[in-house]
Amino acid sequence: MNNFVKLFIAIAIVGAFLTIPLLTPMPAYADKLTEAIAKTPVGIEKGQIDPKAQPGYLGIPGGPNINVFLAFFWAVWVGWIFSTVGAFGGVMAGVGHITVFKLNAYASQFKDTSPALNRVITDSVRVSNQFLVGLSALISSFNYYKMGRLVLPLGIALALGSMSGSYLVPLLTAGKVTFKAYIGYFGMFVLALGLWMLYETTPKGMASKKKAKQAAEAFESTMKRCRAGENIDTCDLGVKVTKVSLTRFHFTFYGVEFSFSPLYPLIGGFIIASIASFIGVGGGFLLVPFLTSVSGLPMFLSAGTSAFAVLIGMITSIFSYLQQGAIVHWPLIGLEMAGIIAGSIVGPYTSKYISDLWLKRMFIILAFVVGIDYTAQGFFGIKLIP
């Protein structure tokens, strides 16, 4: 692929991502939110709206006013964790919007008094998460490609499969999910992935990942030599596609050969994107286990490849959500995107100093903490973490 084609693809992706907000008629947003507010009881109690109160989130009178410093630095964390692990950016963005910024507590007030407003806030959180992880995926994909840690044919196959799932789910579910149900499903999927990744770190789980372990060890050894002052062209050791056919793709990474059938990532991309779009995340927390388990990649390759697939899925899903009338609080998203840029630039460069095993352990810890707490909240009304 020559440099002109690469540049054209990059410009097309960036242009599509940045012009998404222009593709949906803004009056439809205002009408939907205005209608939901009009149906909400007037007053100063919980579940009511005081028209005289100062506008907050989404311009709702009395809505939460989120601290700008907290929003920025949480977004830095989101960008760093996604660009480092290739996953959990959407999950951490969701944790920020749901718990840290207290939108869960706010939306829950309207569960009985104004279900329409509850669902408007739910859809807003779902699409807002995806804006953040989409931007992080864009920056991370570019950085990982330069570093030779993105398996582009595999990422394209996953992305092609994800596009249909990313479009259909918002079309079928926008405006139909309550915040409580959203949190429950959010936690359930995250917890299930944490359990699977825990299994992957056991001797039995690692036994079938010999190539991934070999490649990870070769990568870590090379990084140690670089830190010791040895001059090594790491890009030359990165992903090299050796053979491409309709039935099998072959590539090498640090001298270790891998291959995959394009059929599996196409199917996997569709299923993963459907789940991710429903709970309003990027899907990296599902893509990374898929890449390490089904495709047998080391974590050092999974992060970049996952980021590329997430990027394409996010463009599709965001477009679909906005077409269904999901509303975005642009002042907050703009501030968070600045934090995402900072965290996403740093992530790929710091990840090479963290071992493959510790990257997986970080993933598992986050999955258990978030998964257990949100599952308990959503399905049983029990809040385990203050």
pLDDT in tens, 256-267: 888 888 888 999
**Distance spanning both ends of the chain, measured CA to CA:** 51
Write the pLDDT tens digit of every residue in 319-329.
889 888 888 89
Question: Whole-model pTM?
Answer: 0.79
CA dist 204 and 321 (Å) reads: 41
How high is the pLDDT of residue 270? 93
How high is the pLDDT of residue 324? 86
How high is the pLDDT of residue 204? 74
How high is the pLDDT of residue 257? 83
Residue 161, token pair as written in the block:
């499969």
- Closest among 238, 236, 370 to 301, alpha carbons compared: 238
Alpha-carbon distances of 178 from 117, 174, 279, rounded to whole Å: 10, 10, 11
- Closest among 92, 97, 101, 157 to 125, alpha carbons compared: 97
How high is the pLDDT of residue 65? 92
Write the pLDDT tens digit of every residue in 265-297.
999 999 999 998 998 888 877 887 788 777 777
DSSP 137-175: HHHHHHHHHHTT---HHHHHHHHHHHHHHHHHHHHHHTT
Query: Which residues of the chain are under the pLDDT cut of 50?
Result: 1-29
How high is the pLDDT of residue 359? 72
Cα radius of gyration rounded to whole Å, the chain: 21
Orientation angle between helical segments 284-293 and 179-200, nearest 10 degrees = 20
CA dist 71 and 143 (Å) reads: 24
Q: What single-letter amino acid sits at 12? A: A
CA dist 303 and 149 (Å) reads: 8
Q: Which residue blocks in the chain are alpha helix, DSSP H? A: 3-19, 26-38, 68-85, 89-95, 103-108, 115-146, 152-173, 179-200, 203-207, 210-227, 234-237, 263-279, 284-293, 299-323, 330-350, 356-380
Write the pLDDT tens digit of every residue in 13-53.
444 444 444 444 344 445 788 889 999 999 999 999 999 99
Pair type for strands 256-260 and 249-253: antiparallel
CA dist 121 and 19 (Å) reads: 23
How high is the pLDDT of residue 354? 72
CA dist 80 and 8 (Å) reads: 27
Contacts 24+ apart (CB under 8 A), 20-25: 20/315, 20/318, 20/319, 20/322, 21/322, 21/328, 21/330, 23/319, 23/322, 23/323, 24/322, 24/323, 24/325
